[in-house]
Amino acid sequence: MRDLVWLIRHTLKRTFSNKRNILLYFGTPLIGIIISLLVYGGSTAKDLHVGMVNHDPHYITNDTIRFIKSIEHISVTNVKESEIDDKITSGKLDCVVIFHSGFSQSVQEGRPSHIQIVSIRGTEITGFIKSYLYHYIDNIAALGQIAKGDEHTFLEMYKRYQQAPFNMSVHSLQDTSKHKYMTYQTIGYLLMIMLLSAGNLAEIIIKEKENRTYFRLLSTPINAKQYVLSNVIVNMIVMTGQIIITLIMMDTVFHIKTNIPFWQMTTILMLFALVAIGVALMTVAFASSSASSGAMQNLLTVPTCMLAGCFWPVDIMPAFAQKMADFLPQRWALDTLLKLQQGHHFGSLYLNILILFAFALAFFLIAVYKFGRNHSVGNFL
């Protein structure tokens, strides 16, 4: 036991006496957070891009457009009707407001019409615009009703209304779905980093075989099982660090709400850490040199992470790819977290947890079997 601790301390010290490794193991998980901030726009709400088509040049229409421009987080551009489809489908515009000729007339008469909102993003966008726009138009229309068609009265009231200080408080909606996406993105990236780190750390076994120190170690009271165990523990320590650092940074620095209790999140990720160690030991057991294990790990990790949906939701992938993803542990870890976010009870996810366990167990067993058959000590002595 004392010897085991001595060996673990030695491996940790050797690994982290190289400052680059500190950055490699504990800096890279944060890249995931930064990517998710870039993709999902960070903590400030994203601007809405609204296009305007004005077929009704009149002061009421112009003022309405000016009003929309004054709303926070909305940027307005004038477009031609012919460009609408193109700009909306390409995502350059979130929606387009079309003022058909007769709009100002209808407002003045108290029955607003001849206005149209085009969007493919559905109610979450149009609803936001509509709520402001219709509120404003309704107010003007109310003036029209009061004026009962008297142009002069309407104009008087309209001027006063326009001059009244506009008291409008804008609430950015707390967008929980955005936090969910960001959590998913960050954790997906963390899973990949964990797999790569586990691979790197397990590779120490091969490197120590290559520099022969492994064989000297085995001639000391340390045996092969303790030696591999020490590597597993080092691996576990490093990955626990990665998990804790990522979760704490997400919460305290970047204010990303995972919507999952800390201990549940940690449990699932630690379980995945075991899977990652299993995969790493398996590659090491099969690899003939540190170069080939490195290549094997890269070849395995990045594509499976893509397939398992570590970088984007699996639903956007073709059906056969989704089926294949079911054979990947990353998929199950992410699926568990998604379900926890959706409010599933931790206990009800025993099947997911069992499957993750099974993955870890299977990889460990394959590694142990293969290690047991690697009798060759080469020309140690």
Partner 1 sequence: MNILEIKNVTKKFGDFIAVDNMSLTVAEGEIFGFLGANGAGKSTTINMISGLLRPNAGEIKILGKDIGKHSHFAKRNIGIVPQDIAIYEDLTAYENVKFFAGLYGLRGSQLHERVEEALQFVGLSDKQKSYPKNFSGGMKRRLNIACAIAHRPKLIIMDEPTVGIDPQSRNYILASVKKLNEMGCTIIYTSHYMEEVEEICTRIAIIDHGKIIAEGTKEQLEAIITNTKDVWIGVKSMDNMDINKLKAISGVKAVQCEENMVKISSDIGVNNLNRIIQCLMNDGVEIRSLEEKSPNLETVFLTLTGRNLRD
If binding means CB under 8 A, how many residues of this protein chain bind partner 1? 25
Asked if 288 is part of the footprint of ligand ATP (rule: CB under 6 A), the reply reads: no
Closer residue to partner 1, CB minimum distance, 177 or 219 = 219
Helices 2-16 and 176-210 cross at an angle (nearest 10°) of: 110
Asked if 312 is part of the footprint of partner 1 (rule: CB under 8 A), the reply reads: no
State the Cα–Cα distance between residues 358 and 266, nearest whole angstrom: 18
Asked if 2 is part of the footprint of partner 1 (rule: CB under 8 A), the reply reads: yes
Asked if 92 is part of the footprint of partner 1 (rule: CB under 8 A), the reply reads: no
> Site for partner 1 (CB under 8 A): which residue of 138, 219, 229, 366?
219
Identify the helix (H) or strand (E) that includes residue 119: strand 115-119
Asked if 376 is part of the footprint of ligand ATP (rule: CB under 6 A), the reply reads: yes
State the Cα–Cα distance between residues 276 and 279, nearest whole angstrom: 5
Which entry of ligand ATP, partner 1, none binds 292, CB below 5 to 8 A by partner kind?
Answer: none
Which entry of partner 1, ligand ATP, none binds 14, CB below 5 to 8 A by partner kind?
Answer: partner 1
> Site for partner 1 (CB under 8 A): which residue of 87, 130, 212, 370?
212
CB-based contact 258:247 (threshold 8 Å): yes
> Site for ligand ATP (CB under 6 A): which residue of 169, 177, 342, 379?
379
Asked if 377 is part of the footprint of partner 1 (rule: CB under 8 A), the reply reads: yes
Asked if 163 is part of the footprint of ligand ATP (rule: CB under 6 A), the reply reads: no
Q: Provide, rounded to whole angstroms, the least separation between the CB of residue 21 and partner 1.
A: 12
Which entry of ligand ATP, partner 1, none binds 79, CB below 5 to 8 A by partner kind?
Answer: none
Burial readout 232-251 (b: 16 or more C-beta within 10 A, e: otherwise): bbbbbebbeebbebbbebbe
Token pair for 18: 């190289």
If binding means CB under 6 A, how many residues of this protein chain bind ligand ATP? 2
CB neighbour list of residue 327: distance below 8 Å, 6 or more residues apart? none
Identify the helix (H) or strand (E) that includes residue 78: strand 74-78
State the Cα–Cα distance between residues 53 and 44, nearest whole angstrom: 28
CB neighbour list of residue 266: distance below 8 Å, 6 or more residues apart? 243, 244, 247
Q: Provide, rounded to whole angstroms, the least separation between the CB of residue 19 and ligand ATP.
A: 39
Burial readout 15-31 (b: 16 or more C-beta within 10 A, e: otherwise): beeeeebeeebbebbbe
Asked if 10 is part of the footprint of partner 1 (rule: CB under 8 A), the reply reads: yes
Closer residue to partner 1, CB minimum distance, 3 or 63 = 3
Q: Provide, rounded to whole angstroms, the least separation between the CB of residue 317 and ligand ATP.
A: 46
Q: Provide, rounded to whole angstroms, the least separation between the CB of residue 209 and ligand ATP.
A: 13
Asked if 78 is part of the footprint of ligand ATP (rule: CB under 6 A), the reply reads: no
CB-based contact 139:164 (threshold 8 Å): no
Which of the 8 DSSP states describes residue 185? Answer: H
> Site for partner 1 (CB under 8 A): which residue of 132, 181, 215, 286?
215
The 3 state secondary structure assigned to 277-328 is: HHHHHHHHHHCCCHHHHHHHHHHHHHHHHHHCCCCCCHHHCCHHHHHHHCCC
Residues contributing to the site for ligand ATP (CB under 6 A) = 376, 379
Contact set with partner 1 (CB under 8 A): 2-3, 6-7, 10, 14, 17-18, 211-213, 215-223, 375, 377, 379-381
